[in-house]
């Protein structure tokens, strides 16, 4: 397969939803820049190349300014057709028991790098007069998050940013779509949510989530919640008393004794 539709960029693209989005991009004929920080980046890039993709792998820690600059340096001067802001990590445990360095790292990764890259890519796409951006938010951004407060709060920011920019980008030829999955079978549950009910609950396949996100992005939709259970959570999040929402989330996110 020869890539002929232009460049797609996926952050957090070596596993989970990000990898599945990258796979779809390759199968649809886009060349690919795959950015991640973990040890599985090279393996993921190799798998995508075996599918026929033109894949550049960029190893960068996007929770740092240096990582963002490294990715952007790789992209400068290139037209970008699709951008997937997918990198993010959870952080469990009660807020004041977390190390501040871990809190700051999650905020930098989930919020700062997402905002920075969308700002840079958005300018490129506006100058082109075309482009599509998919932001991986979360249904967690619509509900309280005891014992997972930083993650839920950062995803509330990401959701809100995408919703606002979808309006600002009107008449520019650029669209932005917020993908808001519920529990999905990705490594995020092994990086901060071990020994919790969230870790053990049934989860949606990441390929299904990625496909619904891709289709919504290509249709220019503002957002998409990809599974029925999460759509119910989204529907009732605005009317459920916060005390009830807090209690439910605590039951799911609190570590077992």
What pLDDT is attached to residue 202? 56
Tell me the C-alpha distance between 75 and 7, whole Å. Answer: 10
* Average pLDDT of span 23-42: 95
Q: Is 104:113 a contact under the CB 8 Å cutoff? A: no
* Average pLDDT of span 173-181: 96
Burial bucket for residue 1 (CB in 10 Å: 0-12, 13-18, 19+): exposed
Pairing of strands 82-85, 131-136: parallel
Tell me the C-alpha distance between 225 and 25, whole Å. Answer: 20
What pLDDT is attached to residue 2? 43
Backbone angles phi, psi at 251, to 5 degrees: -60, -35
> Over 70: is that where the pLDDT of 4 sits?
yes
Tell me the domains of the chain and their CATH numbers.
7-253 (3.40.50.720)
What pLDDT is attached to residue 236? 45
What pLDDT is attached to residue 147? 82
What pLDDT is attached to residue 200? 56
What pLDDT is attached to residue 90? 82
Identify the top-confidence range among 197-201, 213-217, 227-231: 213-217
> How many C-beta atoms surround the C-beta of residue 98 within 10 A?
16
């Amino acid at each position: 397969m020869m890539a002929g539709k232009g460049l797609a960029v996926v952050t957090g693209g070596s596993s989970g939803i990000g990898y599945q989005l990258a796979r779809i991009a390759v199968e649809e004929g886009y060349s690919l820049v795959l950015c991640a920080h973990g040890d599985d980046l090279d393996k993921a890039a190799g798998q995508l190349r075996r599918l026929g993709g033109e894949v550049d792998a960029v190893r960068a820690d996007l929770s740092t300014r240096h990582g963002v600059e490294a990715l952007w340096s790789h992209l400068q001067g290139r037209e970008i057709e699709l951008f997937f802001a997918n990198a993010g990590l959870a952080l469990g445990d009660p807020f004041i028991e977390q190390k501040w360095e871990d809190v700051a790292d999650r905020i930098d990764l989930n919020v700062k790098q997402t905002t920075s890259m969308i700002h840079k890519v958005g300018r490129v796409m506006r100058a082109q007069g075309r482009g599509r951006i998919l932001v991986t938010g979360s249904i967690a951004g619509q509900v309280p998050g005891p014992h997972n407060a930083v993650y839920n709060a950062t995803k509330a920011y990401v959701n809100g940013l995408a919703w606002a920019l979808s309006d600002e980008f009107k008449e520019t030829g650029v669209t932005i779509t917020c993908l808001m999955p519920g529990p999905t079978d990705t490594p995020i549950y092994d990086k901060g949510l071990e020994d919790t009910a969230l870790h053990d609950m049934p989860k949606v396949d990441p390929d299904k989530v990625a496909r619904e996100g891709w289709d919504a992005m290509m249709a220019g939709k503002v957002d998409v919640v990809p599974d029925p259970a999460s759509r119910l959570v989204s529907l009732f999040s605005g009317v459920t008393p916060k005390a009830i929402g807090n209690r439910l989330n605590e039951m799911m996110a609190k570590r077992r004794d």
